[in-house]
Each structure stands twice: as structure tokens, then as C-alpha cells.
Amino acid sequence: MLKTINLSTDLIQKTTGVCGGSACIRKTRIPVWTLVSLKKMGATDQDLLRNYPSLTQIDLEAMWHYYQQNQTEIEQEILAQDDD
């Protein structure tokens, strides 16, 4: 029997003390806001997969799904990084 993957809860994690508690791709320290920011600057999925070899296409789909469901959170994190 195949397990259904919930993109937002199975592949995106928030861990206290890791990346400031930002949503990250499962078992990595790659924040969702970083990938969204790169996509907005024109990076393709192929660029992201090449530059982050631990990621899979499913991880990128989960990232985009999470962003669509939590756009305000991610946009605030991107703005906070721009202020630094």
C-alpha cells in the first residue's frame, strides 16, 4: 500500500533552534524563504537542484506548496533578510 505524502507536513519542517525556526526542507537547513527568493530572482528548478544536490523535485514542489499556503510568513522572512 502506498503512503500519501502531505507536501506541507511531511517534507517541510520547522525546528526550534534550526535556521531561526524558519520552515525548511525536511532534514536540511535549507529554508523555504531562500528557495522562494531564488525562484523570484529567476532561478529555475534545474538551477536549484544543481546548486542544492540534496534536494529533489518533490522537495521543490513541497516548497512551492508551502509558500502558496503560507505566503505572508515567507514574504516577511524574505523582507527580514533583505533588511540585514
Q: What is the pLDDT of residues 53-81, one digit of tens each?
A: 999 999 999 999 999 999 999 999 999 98
31's grid cell:
529554508
- Give the residue with greater pLDDT, 6 vs 62: 62
What's 41's DSSP letter?
Answer: T
pLDDT at 81: 86
Instruction: Provide φ and ψ at 22, rounded to 5°.
Output: -70, 155
Contact in structure between 30 and 55 (CB atoms under 8 Å):
yes
**Hey, what domains does the chain have and what are their CATH numbers?**
7-83 (1.10.10.10)
Q: How far is CA 12 from CA 1, 25, 43, 82, 83, in A?
A: 23, 5, 20, 23, 25
* CA angle (82 as vertex; 53, 63 as ends), nearest 5: 35
> Which of the four pLDDT bands, split at 50, 70 and 90, describes residue 37?
very high
